[in-house]
Structure 1
């Protein structure tokens, strides 16, 4: 079997704006464009005033997700895309910059390899 795709997992620390629905939505949409993916749908769920947001962008190529904890400044990001030719690092950089992350830890998995 050829590689099914790349899964990039990012732990972002020291983030700001993690309870801002408009910021999270705009950031996910921009990140999808940045990696050259096709957005099928986007759903965000806020957990209340000052609390986190969970969001999923369904892509023709797979998905992008965010789970945020504003109380600790932490965001968990997953980007999984099938096939080649997508710049996942560009997407993570865009998200980290938009959330003003102080630090990031990245894990890259080659799925189906």
Structure 2
């Protein structure tokens, strides 16, 4: 059980992905519709997916988001670059590897970087424990500055 913080935020930068799949509005809508179910999250609204025509073909792509009770999942694609960025942010713990595997499979990513943070460290799920942790971090930082 998480004692502090609002929740996990998984950020994925995908490279060498299938340009055809990154340009497929219906596939992105399907992924945003299915991924919350796979992750045992609760969709509040259906996914919203929009094609974007940038100033150059390389800057064009598809953007989609699904609002979930736990927060949101967003996908931004750049088909001509074979690149996508994905955010999975939730106030509830989720299986990071399962989400990553699902996205790798559906977009055929050749390579990816992930970043993972726990957001809202001072969010009071257990106020006493949050205060202890934050206080300790502040003391550590003050000692480094002095």
- Return the structure number with greater helix share: 2
Separation of aligned partners in 2, 1:37 and 1:107: 20
- Tell me by how many angstroms 1:92 deviates: 2.2
Pair 1:80-2:89 in alignment:
yes
Q: Which of 1 and 2 has greater Rg? A: 2
**Secondary structure of 1:39's partner?**
coil
**Relative CO higher for 1 or 2, CA cutoff 8 Å, sep ≥ 6?**
1
Residue in structure 1 matched with residue 101 of structure 2 by the alignment = 93
Residue in structure 2 matched with residue 111 of structure 1 by the alignment = 119
For structure 1, the 5+ residue unaligned runs are: none
Q: Deviations over 1:19-69 (max 9, x none)?
A: 101111111222111111111121111125x74101111000000000100
Separation of aligned partners in 2, 1:23 and 1:7: 23
TM-score (norm 2): 0.71
Between the two proteins, the alignment pairs up a number of residues equal to 111
For structure 2, the 5+ residue unaligned runs are: 122-146
- Return the structure number with greater strand share: 1
How large is the Cα RMSD of the aligned pairs? 1.5
Indicate which of 30, 39, 59 corresponds to 2:68.
Answer: 59
Residue in structure 2 matched with residue 31 of structure 1 by the alignment = 35
